Copies of this chain bind each other. A is one copy, B any other.
Amino acid sequence: MSITIRDVAQAAGVSTATVSRALRGLPHVDPETRERVRRVAAEMDYVVSPSASRLASGRTGTVAVITPFIDRWFFSTVLSGISDVLQESDVDLLVYEVGDPATSPGLPAERRLRGRVDGVIVVTLPTDAPRIADLLEIGLPASFIGVRWPGVPSVCIDDAAAARMATQHLINLGHERVGILSGRPQASTSQAARARGYTEAMKGAGLEPEEAAYGYFTVAGGESAMTSLLSQPRPPTAVFAMSDDMAFGAIRALQRHGIRPGVDIAIASIDGHDLSELLDLTTVGQPVEQMGRMAAHALLDRMLGRDNPDAGDPDAGEIAVPTTLVVRGSTVPVERTTSLG
């Protein structure tokens, strides 16, 4: 029923081997023959059977992206960047949504990936996910986003620097009690780095770091974390949130308490979320889509073996991307804020 390479070969008066070579642009085919094969194939509306091609060649032309979520801004934006690059190279994108690593089994077993894809991109999971090692063991080319791993291209921002930048900005505005909205108790390396950046900035200014309130990187979490900060005897005059989503939640909490961000309290965070501008939120922006693109490119390079193995470099593979502080109305000098204490 479906037409095969044999039909094309017959119609073009050549062997299947020649059809295969002609259609894939391999050398050792007479230009004239190639053209004829192409024409015949087009006329017959022939398309290569991916299954057969995979089985015979061992290549799948597919990349898997493993991500905790797809319906959150950061992840969907990364995905979009990846998708863009992959599509340009005619590589298919397989998505595995694995949920919050803290509560779900995490990565799909490497058994799931084996033979199914040519490479894998893993997006921000705690490095302690044990299965990552399995993934690499089967020799699958990989690239990571948001998690460093020796020998694997890892697209990361300098989390500590970003947190320091945001915190320092608040400190520069005169704030001395700067609260912090963190993710969860047992931290990913990325979260730990942000915590470090905050602490460094505070200590560097001779200030006492506050105890973290946990917002689990969600809007709802940010809201309740902020609420708990507000219930303290002497609430902070400024807050650093590890993510825009948590900052959004915090703003919500503030609204409920009749406290105006950018007037009564200052707030800054990390992400550069699409809607941060809308909420007039000061944030340390990261080029999220770009990060997806870079990870995809790095992976493709690996897969095609055209990456320059910078051997000897211990940090080989780490791809640092810059962050920029975007100052908006949510951060005001301390003297303009109303004392909440």
Contact = CB atoms under 8 A, between A and B. Distances in A.
A253 to B, nearest CB: 11
A278 B248 contact: yes
Interface in A104-158: 111, 114-116
A11 interface: no
A77 B115 CA distance: 29
B97 A84 contact: yes
A92 interface: yes
Give the interface residue-count category, chain A.
35 or more
Given A70-B79, A71-B289, A219-B275, A51 B97 contact: no
Q: How many monomers of this protein are in the complex?
A: 2
Nearest to A84: B97
A292 to B, nearest CB: 9
B97 A80 contact: yes
A174 interface: no
A229 to B, nearest CB: 18
A115 B71 contact: no
Nearest to A75: B76
Contacts of A114: 47
Interface in A52-100: 52, 54-55, 58, 60, 62, 69-73, 75-77, 79-80, 83-84, 87, 92-97
A284 to B, nearest CB: 20
B76 A71 contact: yes
Contacts of A92: 94, 116
Contacts of A71: 73, 76-77, 79-80, 289
A60 B51 contact: yes
A302 interface: no
A83 B55 contact: no
A102 interface: no
Contacts of A83: 70, 95, 97
Interface string A1-12: 010000000000
A61 B87 CA distance: 21
Contacts of A277: 252
Interface of A: 2, 45, 47, 49-52, 54-55, 58, 60, 62, 69-73, 75-77, 79-80, 83-84, 87, 92-97, 111, 114-116, 219, 248, 251-252, 255, 274-275, 277-280, 289
Given A49-B55, A51-B115, A255-B280, 14 more contacts: A45-B111, A50-B116, A51-B54, A51-B58, A51-B60, A69-B80, A70-B83, A71-B79, A76-B76, A79-B95, A80-B97, A84-B97, A92-B94, A278-B279
23 contacts: A2-B115, A49-B55, A49-B115, A50-B54, A50-B115, A51-B55, A51-B58, A51-B60, A51-B115, A62-B94, A69-B80, A71-B79, A71-B80, A71-B289, A76-B79, A79-B95, A83-B97, A87-B96, A94-B95, A219-B274, A255-B280, A275-B275, A278-B279
